Amino acid sequence: MSQPSFSQLLDQLSPFLRSALPQIAPDCALAAAIFRLAHGASYAAVARRFGISLAESCRAFFAVCKVVTNKLGYLFELRTDSDRVVVGFGWSSVPNCVGVLGLDKFAIESKILGEDGFLMVQALVDSEGRFLDVSAGWPSTLKPETVLRQSKLFLEVEESRELLQGPSFKLSDGSLIPQYVLGDSCYPLLPWLLTPYNRVNEEDSFGSAERAFNCAHARAMGLVGDAFGRLRVRWQILSDLRKWKGECVEYLPYVIVTCCLLHNFLIKCNEPMPVKEVTIVEKERADDVASDGVVDENAMRIRDALAMHFSRESLRG
């Protein structure tokens, strides 16, 4: 993080840090927390570097995480600037798309979730790699579809109808496409959540339109892997090489959300993107199991219309 970006962040958070940590200067508390997030440093190492006690190092870290999640939530722009998101995907010839939805996994040492247990994070990402919505802390014992249906995103689309209510987009053949999200094959196909075509039988083959859709879909899904990969590189506390201890697991979701918000903040500040790290999800993507829920006919119609659109676009290209 450059000095100008740090100063801008400090200006926004100082009043709240003074209230939360009256014994520690706001610039010291913020710098100590950023250092721990960026390097995965121990509390002892942070205390030595910034001349504070071990207890102050710990308090500063969690106070900064709390202030960031409470005061920078506006940087998840799905609910405040979805028009920008749609325009961004439009430049990539993916019309009326409001994000790409995927999962990442964060390893933990606790035996509570089994030998190789982990926590899942569901994230919606835009065409520039910003996080639009993050739901963190789901145990590995849950299926991705269960995570989706229990998330705030799902409730705001399906029940309260607060999201994805923008105008439909008219394709060149006259088909109307409502706002939608692209999601991985582990999710159910819904009118607002479009997943790739899957073969029912190994001997089945895809038509040109289906292939064009899956190709465009795969490129878009790469945005999620890139975002998580860059998140892990920039904030080493989330590195794949690190496993969170059982007694600390309850804090991991807050740390992840903090890192996602700071990731967005640095994009807004035009900080250079780090080279991404290959995430656990990308390594295991070949093992993903497609959702086997009931197929929604309206969702199939929307996906088929988009598939024809992508096919026409590929022929023009």
* Cβ contact 254:238 at 8 Å: no
Average pLDDT of every residue of the chain: 89
Own/partner long-range contacts of 254-258 (Cβ < 8 Å, ≥24 apart)? 254/62, 254/65, 254/66, 254/69, 254/136, 255/37, 255/65, 256/106, 256/121, 256/134, 256/136, 256/137, 257/69, 257/134, 257/136, 258/37, 258/64, 258/65, 258/68, 258/69
Calculate the CA dihedral of residues 214, 107, 226, 91 and round it to 10 degrees: 60
Decide if 194 contacts 153 (C-beta within 8 A).
no
Q: Determine the 3-state secondary structure of 244 from DSSP.
A: strand
Tell me the mean pLDDT in the region 98-104: 97
φ, ψ (nearest 5 deg) of residue 175: -65, 140
At residue 286 the predicted structure's pLDDT band, cuts being 50, 70 and 90, is very low
Whose structure tokens read 């080493």? 236
CB atoms within 10 A of CB 23: 10
Rounded to a whole number, what is the largest CA-CA distance in the chain?
68
Asked whether residue 105 carries a pLDDT value surpassing 50, the answer given is yes
Looking at residue 245, its pLDDT comes to: 72
CA distance 81 to 74: 10
| Residue 285 scores a pLDDT above 60 | no
Residue spans of beta strands (DSSP E) within the chain: 97-107, 118-125, 131-139, 169-170, 176-177, 180-183, 193-194
Between 117 and 289, the more confident residue is 117
Q: Please report the pLDDT score of residue 65 as a whole number.
A: 96
Q: What pLDDT is attached to residue 150?
A: 96
Hey, is 271 helix, strand or coil? coil
Question: How far apart, in whole angstroms, are the C-alpha atoms of residue 193 and residue 198?
Answer: 15
Q: Which amino acid appears at position 265 of this protein?
A: F
User: 110 pLDDT exceeds 80?
Assistant: no
Q: Answer whether 0.75 is exceeded by the pTM.
A: yes
pLDDT tens string 220-254: 999 999 999 999 999 999 987 777 776 677 888 99
pLDDT band at 287 (very low <50, low <70, confident <90, very high): very low
Cα 46 to Cα 39: distance, rounded to the nearest angstrom: 10
Residue ranges per structural domain of the chain: 3-74, 76-315
